[in-house]
Structure 1
Amino acid sequence: MLFRLFSLLLFKVHVVCRTAAILLPDLYEASISDLQAGLQNGDFDSVELVSAYFARIEEVNLKGPQLRAVLEINPSALGQAKALDAERAIRGPRTKLHGIPVLLKDSIGTASTEGLNSTAGSFSLLKSVVPEDSTVVKKLRQAGAIILGKASMSEWAQFRGDVAAGWSGRGGQSTNAYFLGADPCGSSSGSAIATSIGLTAVSLGTETSGSITCPSSNNNVVGIKPTVGLTSRSGVIPISEHQDTVGPIARSVEDAAIVLSVIAGIDARDNFTSTQPQPISDFMKALDVNGLKGARLGIPRRAFLNESLTGNDPFVNVAFQMAVNVMREMGAVIVDPADLPSTEDPENLNTVLEAESLVEATDFKIQLNQYLSNLPQIPTGVHSLADVINFNDKNPNLEEPVNFTDHLVEAQETNGFNQAYFEALTTGRELAATNGIDAALAAHDLDALILPAPGFAFIPSAVAGYPIVTVPLDFYPDNVTTKSVGPLTVYPAPGVPLGLCFIGTAFSEVELIRLAFAFEQKTKTRLKRKAVSAAVPKAQLDVVGRV
């Protein structure tokens, strides 16, 4: 008996001493590789990792700075982590995502049996029964990832109405962690905020028009907006099948590439995915620190000259030019200008925006009605867009903030797939793709276009369905003058980040990742400034005493 007690005491001392010597990763910045190494070495397990992220969320989400980045945590996450820890011990990891927590935008569906809601931020879908996981979630689970919870978002993916980005009925107003009250941008606001300060390892967002690009820019993270058709939208609450795409938001290009490699692929439930080249590219092979050497990059300079597109912000222009100089020093050939031919006529921008608006509104009404019809049960009784509008009007204290214009009503008034709709599709594609991005790339033999994220960058890519990779570029100076952009948010603001966009043609993700990775590794902009101290959680991994 005494021997057993002495042996147990020695074991505990060994664990404490071993742990004291281990340098545990700081969750503010920990990469997937850092976490995977710790899990493999036994420094911590996935149960502890999930618990640490839960503790970090508890600190800053609804308390302290009240970032409101996370809508709800997954009650099944710890159970998933325990099962994956046991599997690791027996068989080893399935993939690089084995045991890694991933946060999902609230429009990305998960089976209701898990205990999570899928509502696009709206009370109208609270407790609705989602029969199965979306395809991207199925792929994450197959890779061994843990679903940590749901991120807040701009309600109905910023299609709710004229309200501040990052607002939803269920989530309230989320805020930027780099300046409390600053615009987090939307609609994948919560995914970007949470990833920026390590409330999750990585997250998924969606983009219809700027909804990964802009939040990634404003929150100092990497975002990959994939080509429409590279990742499945099956099980994702829709806006427009012609523009919707699901992509990763991460703290590094490497982490984003790991996630994209898992969620990309053909899905019979989304016929747009049948257009992607086969076999699927290995995005990890694009991680080349010399990736900018010899690359031909074009600058759509006309965008800078149009105040309505970019605001012609002197600070943004200087930061962008410094990035251009860095890329030139790294061996890139810069073609300046390399304008989109369609932008020669300034009126074409309005034409593109009008075409996009009609397509999105028409698609949203039809495709949301289809989505709702496939849900077995919706306790609020909404079964169509008209019902959602009626629910909002009956519950103004939940769903109708002061001074907003309801875009849902505009979508409800559309007339389906008529001649005007198909003309808008054709016109938008011609101006954004054929005589836009593709024409500029071909005319100058370019690998990609580059632009700062604020302003024009995402518009042609959204309408064309083309990819963008966004990486940290700089931070606004402390003396910048704040400007109101909503009842509760300002932009720009002191210390708020901004990003750089690499823009390409359809399915050019490998090339864009190669370029973005090289720039990221050279500049290492992300850690040049941290979020405000109140928004940085103190909870970290702690395995002292674990036996």
Structure 2
Amino acid sequence: MKRSDFLKNSALAALGVTTIFATNSFTEKKASSSPEKIMDESNDNFELDEISIAELQEKMAKGTYTSAHITQLYLNRIEAIDKNGPILNSIIEINPDALNIAKAMDKERIEGKIRGPLHGIPVVIKDNIDTADKMMTTAGALAMLGNYAKKDAFIVTQLRNAGAVIIAKTNLSEWANFRSTNSSSGWSSRGEQTKNPYILDHSPCGSSAGSGSAVAANLCAIAVGTETDGSITCPASINGGVGIKPTVGLVSRSGIIPISKTQDTAGPMTRTVTDAAILLEVLAGVDDADAVTKESRGKNTAYTKFLTKDGLKGKRIGVEKKKITNQFLNELQQKAMEVLKNQGATIVELEYVDSINKLGNDEFEVLKYEFKDGVNQYLSTANAKMKSLADVIKFNKENEDTAMPTFKQELLEQSEAKKDLKDPVYLKAVKNSHEGAKKIIDTAMKKYNLDAFAGLTMGPACSIDVIYGDKWGEVSLTAPAAMSGYPHISVPCGKVYDLPVGLSFFSGAYREGEIIAMAYAFEQATKHRVKPEFKKAFLLNY
């Protein structure tokens, strides 16, 4: 799920999903001095810094590195950075079999068997994705300790078949940020608070916080996250990376602890558009256990063929007409629009965001109904001690000091109070939010002959506040693609207040290739991705 601010403001949908910069966020001032860096030189000069999949494959092909050596370097990096250095808390559990898997991939390479571009490549995955190994699947919840999956999630099988080495699971906002309206993104009772590697007292955003933070900090080559509304694209934006939320139906959800069957999907989180395209090719696939994926049959494709620097040429791109009030963010977006124009795109200004944001209350209803239904189905066959959402709520109440030391579980309780999915209230909400969002987007694309929409993904990261929760700014462009189920990519766009901000492209169903082409062209024209510096705190000149 998206940041908790979405949930707080859903009741204010008529005024828009987000608010102006508020307490615990930013004033319109620039930092008076650079925040203190706390990295030592040995950690600041990691030999695999910013390395790509292609570069790792080249080194393994030449014999410079083996997969086992690469895996060990990343494991050492996790120990140094995530646990003992800046303490990012992005990794919730290490795979004890990681090195053995890497050695098996090395043996296959020696024997002449190369499974594909992910052969021997270390990857981390979010801790709501089942792995039938020695790692648990807990959604970050103490209530779920001991849940060792009986079977790999479909996408985990895809990764293993492709030769990827799953080295760890990542921390997340507990229950994918669907526990409380006052939650702190990246906090879970099992994994505690994940931090932003750019400025450590700031939020990593979204429920895929650990995946976004880990890949940004070079703790892995690539990562997998999940999204219901903003949980891939927001942490990608906030952590200076690339994230793709695919069309719902392109990537299987079976074996993933759910929120919403209407909006959930897994997707790539990387440092480059190229690596995201490579990973998406592996994740996509039709799964008999997830009926929605049958709609993608014949539609998923080789996404790397869309990696062209001419990806923006001749494209018509819709941009929200309403101006951003924060001058630094407005300037950043205007510069991005000039890049799009210089790369051959035509910018079409229109008004559509407010219309979609007004559907927020209906979306919220859908998520509560579907969360109860989906979690109960998952728990009924899982190895967890909890067999229902009611069991989880009871456990949290009985263990309040450790399970809920600050924010509570009102979203779990509100979901538990809902009826089944035959309830007319639910059916009306699905029609209003999901079908309504699709209609707004499809109508605008047809009326203005658009290829895609674009705009800043999010504003810069807010401060971490585990007591009162996240406080986000006025910019958020995750809802349109989330509610419609359409594809969305975020790519680095620059920095504001020393913090990364992403640029979004989204379009109609199964148009991943087109938005990948646009994002790649923008990425190659700008090269905005910079590695994090692990600064200690943000300072303002008052």
TM-score of the superposition, structure 2-length normalised? 0.85
**Aligned amino acid, residue 292 of structure 1:** L
Does structure 2 conserve the Cα–Cα contact (< 8 Å) formed by 1:108 and 1:118? yes
CA deviation map 1:203-246 (0-9, x unaligned):
00000010001000100000000010000000000000100000
- Unaligned segments of structure 2, at least 5 residues: 1-44, 459-474, 538-542
| Partner in structure 2 of residue 324 of structure 1 | 337
| Partner in structure 1 of residue 57 of structure 2 | 36
Secondary structure in 1 matching 2:312: coil
Query: In structure 2, how many angstroms separate the alpha carbons of the residues matched to 1:279 and 1:31?
Result: 27
| Partner in structure 2 of residue 144 of structure 1 | 163
Q: Does residue 314 of the first structure (1) align with residue 327 of the second (2)?
A: yes
Does structure 2 conserve the Cα–Cα contact (< 8 Å) formed by 1:25 and 1:34? no
Q: Does residue 413 of the first structure (1) align with residue 426 of the second (2)?
A: no
TM superposition shift of 1:26 = 3.6
Query: In structure 1, how many angstroms separate the alpha carbons of the residues matched to 2:123 and 2:510?
Result: 24
Query: In structure 2, how many angstroms separate the alpha carbons of the residues matched to 1:250 and 1:135?
Result: 20
**Aligned amino acid, residue 317 of structure 1:** N
Q: 1:533 to 1:85 in 2, by over 3 A?
A: farther
Is the helix fraction higher in 1 or 2?
1
Q: Does residue 258 of the first structure (1) align with residue 278 of the second (2)?
A: yes
The partner residue of 1:520 within 515, 518, 523 is 523
The partner residue of 1:285 within 285, 300, 305 is 305
Bigger radius of gyration among the two? 1
Does structure 2 conserve the Cα–Cα contact (< 8 Å) formed by 1:453 and 1:499? yes
Query: In structure 2, how many angstroms separate the alpha carbons of the residues matched to 1:106 and 1:405?
Result: 19
TM superposition shift of 1:508 = 0.7
The partner residue of 1:472 within 492, 496, 500 is 492
Does structure 1 conserve the Cα–Cα contact (< 8 Å) formed by 2:262 and 2:485? yes
Equivalence map 1:80-479=2 (5 Å): 80-111=101-132, 114-161=133-180, 162-302=182-322, 304=323, 312-335=325-348, 337-340=349-352, 343=354, 349-350=357-358, 352-375=359-382, 377-378=383-384, 381-404=385-408, 406-417=410-421, 418-434=423-439, 436-454=440-458, 455-477=475-497
**Aligned amino acid, residue 526 of structure 1:** R
Secondary structure in 1 matching 2:268: strand
Query: In structure 2, how many angstroms separate the alpha carbons of the residues matched to 1:91 and 1:328?
Result: 46
Does structure 2 conserve the Cα–Cα contact (< 8 Å) formed by 1:339 and 1:440? no
Q: CA RMSD in A?
A: 1.6
Does structure 1 conserve the Cα–Cα contact (< 8 Å) formed by 2:179 and 2:408? no
Equivalence map 1:63-82=2 (5 Å): 63-82=84-103
TM superposition shift of 1:92 = 3.3
Secondary structure in 2 matching 1:393: helix
Secondary structure in 2 matching 1:462: helix
CA deviation map 1:231-273 (0-9, x unaligned):
0000000000100000000000000000000110111100010
Q: 1:200 to 1:242 in 2, by over 3 A?
A: same
**Aligned amino acid, residue 319 of structure 1:** L
CA deviation map 1:395-431 (0-9, x unaligned):
1122102244521111111112200101001111243
TM superposition shift of 1:184 = 0.6
TM-score of the superposition, structure 1-length normalised? 0.85
Secondary structure in 2 matching 1:72: strand
CA deviation map 1:301-337 (0-9, x unaligned):
24x46xxxxxx322111101100001101111111x1
TM superposition shift of 1:533 = 6.3
Does structure 2 conserve the Cα–Cα contact (< 8 Å) formed by 1:202 and 1:255? yes
Does structure 2 conserve the Cα–Cα contact (< 8 Å) formed by 1:158 and 1:186? yes
**Aligned amino acid, residue 119 of structure 2:** H
Equivalence map 1:497-508=2 (5 Å): 497-508=500-511
Q: Does residue 48 of the first structure (1) align with residue 66 of the second (2)?
A: no
CA deviation map 1:108-145 (0-9, x unaligned):
1101xx21011100111111231110000000000000
Give the number of aligned pairs.
475
Query: In structure 2, how many angstroms separate the alpha carbons of the residues matched to 1:135 and 1:504?
Result: 26
Q: 1:85 to 1:367 in 2, by over 3 A?
A: same
Does structure 1 conserve the Cα–Cα contact (< 8 Å) formed by 2:199 and 2:535? no
Moved more, 227-236 or 451-460: 451-460
Does structure 2 conserve the Cα–Cα contact (< 8 Å) formed by 1:470 and 1:502? yes
Query: In structure 1, how many angstroms separate the alpha carbons of the residues matched to 2:514 and 2:107?
Result: 38
Query: In structure 2, how many angstroms separate the alpha carbons of the residues matched to 1:47 and 1:405?
Result: 42
Secondary structure in 2 matching 1:520: helix
Secondary structure in 2 matching 1:177: coil
Does structure 2 conserve the Cα–Cα contact (< 8 Å) formed by 1:25 and 1:35? no
TM superposition shift of 1:534 = 7.8
TM superposition shift of 1:159 = 0.3
| Partner in structure 1 of residue 35 of structure 2 | none
Moved more, 171-180 or 455-464: 455-464
Query: In structure 2, how many angstroms separate the alpha carbons of the residues matched to 1:144 and 1:25?
Result: 24
Does structure 1 conserve the Cα–Cα contact (< 8 Å) formed by 2:199 and 2:534? yes
- Unaligned segments of structure 1, at least 5 residues: 1-23, 306-311, 478-494, 536-547
Identity %: 41
CA deviation map 1:368-392 (0-9, x unaligned):
00101111x32xx311001001111
Does structure 2 conserve the Cα–Cα contact (< 8 Å) formed by 1:217 and 1:453? yes
**Aligned amino acid, residue 328 of structure 1:** K
**Aligned amino acid, residue 443 of structure 1:** K
Query: In structure 2, how many angstroms separate the alpha carbons of the residues matched to 1:444 and 1:26?
Result: 48
CA deviation map 1:138-170 (0-9, x unaligned):
000000001111000000001021211000001
Query: In structure 1, how many angstroms separate the alpha carbons of the residues matched to 2:189 and 2:92?
Result: 11
Secondary structure in 1 matching 2:505: strand
